């Protein structure tokens, strides 16, 4: 994938495979596009996420997610390093909002904005070794993992741009 779409929901950071995928995306210097998804189950809490990320080893079990910590260890993750890496990137990410309660036009507009960010990040290419991925938004669904996107081929990019102008 050229770009990683992070779907932030209330329990996103307690899902071990979401954390593992985030870790690998950052290691591979992939641009992150966080999408903050508000749904009937609540909303991603940035202050709470920062507290959780600061000490995953303590916070996951304290919040009733010992199994998530066990799964990270089972996958040979260095949990303190994971905490440090995610704390450096995720809390400062600029989030794009997305609310399932919005009307159809607002939801479509938000998704078109996200598509534009994917295209921009894809065109920018891989980030050099001196920089961490630049998050442009925030997102997450309780049990969902990270979404990903491929670069849009030039012909499709032109179609997409023309379609967006018509909307």
Concatenated DSSP letters for 43-99?
A: ---HHHHHHHHHTHHHHHHHTT-HHHHHHHHHTT--HHHHHHHHHHHGGGPPPEEEE
Give residue 119's pLDDT.
87
Q: Look up tokens 């991925």; give the residue.
A: 133
| Structural domain that includes position 76 | 3-166
Alpha-carbon distance 113 to 95, whole Å?
12
pLDDT along the chain (167 residues), means of 10: 88 95 93 88 89 96 97 96 93 84 91 89 58 38 42 46 46
Predicted pLDDT of residue 42: 83
Q: How many domains is the chain built from?
A: 1
Rg, the chain, Cα only: 16
pLDDT for the residue 125: 61
Are 10 and 46 in contact by the 8 Å Cβ rule? The answer is no
Place of tokens 């479509």: 108
Give the pLDDT confidence score for residue 70 in this predicted structure.
97
């Amino acid at each position: 994938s050229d770009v990683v779409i992070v779907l932030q929901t209330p329990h996103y950071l307690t899902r071990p495979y979401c954390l593992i995928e985030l870790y690998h995306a950052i290691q591979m210097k992939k641009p992150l596009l966080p999408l903050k998804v508000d749904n009937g189950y609540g909303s991603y809490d940035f202050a709470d996420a920062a507290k959780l990320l600061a000490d995953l080893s303590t916070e996951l079990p304290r919040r009733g997610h010992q199994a998530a910590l066990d799964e990270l260890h089972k996958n040979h993750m260095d949990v303190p390093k994971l905490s440090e890496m995610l704390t450096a990137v995720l809390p400062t990410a600029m989030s794009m909002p997305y609310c399932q309660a919005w009307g159809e036009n607002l939801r479509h507009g938000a998704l078109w904005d996200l598509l534009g960010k994917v295209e921009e990040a894809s065109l920018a290419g891989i980030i050099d070794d001196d920089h961490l991925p630049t998050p442009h938004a925030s997102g997450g669904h309780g049990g969902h993992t990270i979404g990903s996107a491929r670069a849009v081929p030039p012909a499709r990019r032109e179609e997409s741009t023309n379609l967006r102008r018509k909307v």
